[in-house]
Amino acid sequence: MRQDISLAEERPDDWWEVEALFDLCFAPGREALSSYRLREGVEPVAPLCVVARDSDGIVAGAIRYWPVRVGGYPALLLGPVAVHPTHQGEGLAGMLIRETAQRARALGWRRVMLVGDAPYYGRFGFTRLTGVEMPPPTNPERVLGMGDWDGVRGAVTRWDSADCAP
């Protein structure tokens, strides 16, 4: 890990700073995306929601994960992940993805998915998922996953509070 960046689990006090970072990094209306509908009313997986702060204590990046079901199987939906423009190009997003993916495996999560660019996320082990259907209007070419997806097919649905993790 970079010496000038510290990673810590997101705390309730971080919420406004993290949301401001997401607003800065993503287009207006991001909450209208299908992935946000899967998150509504569902708590994120707290140990995997991480904030990166620079040596001045300023939020430099953040990542969140949400539990979902895919064809009845538990999975994690990664996102959003964002890096402040002043820290882009420094490898911080990669550090957040690698660190939290390792934590997810240690917690017993067997599969992670996201909606994103295959050329970018491929470097972290993500590949296109065939047969996994995000709610419309998601482009199926952008549905990516890593982990154990053998035999996992079907619609991505919201996590139910009665579901057990992972």
Q: What is the mean pLDDT of each run of 10 residues along the chain (166 residues)?
A: 85 95 82 74 95 96 97 95 95 96 97 96 97 92 97 93 70
User: Where do the domains of the chain lie?
Assistant: 6-158
Residue-level pLDDT at 125: 96
Q: What is the dihedral of CA 126, 130, 135, 138, to 10 degrees?
A: 70
**Cβ proximity of 62 and 98 under 8 Å:** no
Residue-level pLDDT at 166: 72
* Residues near 48 by beta carbon (within 8 Å), at least 6 away in sequence: 63, 64, 65, 76, 100, 103, 104, 107
Q: Residue 65 and residue 72: Cα distance in Å, rounded?
A: 18
For residue 154, the one-letter residue type is G
Question: What are the φ/ψ torsions at residue 12 (nearest 5 degrees)?
Answer: -55, -35
| DSSP code for 125 | T
Domain spanning 6-158, CATH architecture: 3-Layer(aba) Sandwich (3.40)
Report yes or no on whether pTM surpasses 0.75: yes
The encoded tokens of residue 98 equal 């690698």
**C-alpha distances out from residue 98 to 41, 49, 69, Å:** 27, 13, 22
User: Going along the chain, which residue ranges are E strands?
Assistant: 6-9, 50-53, 59-70, 73-83, 111-115, 127-128, 132-133, 143-147, 154-158
Residue-level pLDDT at 32: 54
Residue-level pLDDT at 40: 86
Q: Residue 142 and residue 136: Cα distance in Å, rounded?
A: 12
Residue-level pLDDT at 137: 87
Residue-level pLDDT at 160: 81
Closest C-alpha among 111, 28, 117, 11 to residue 64: 11
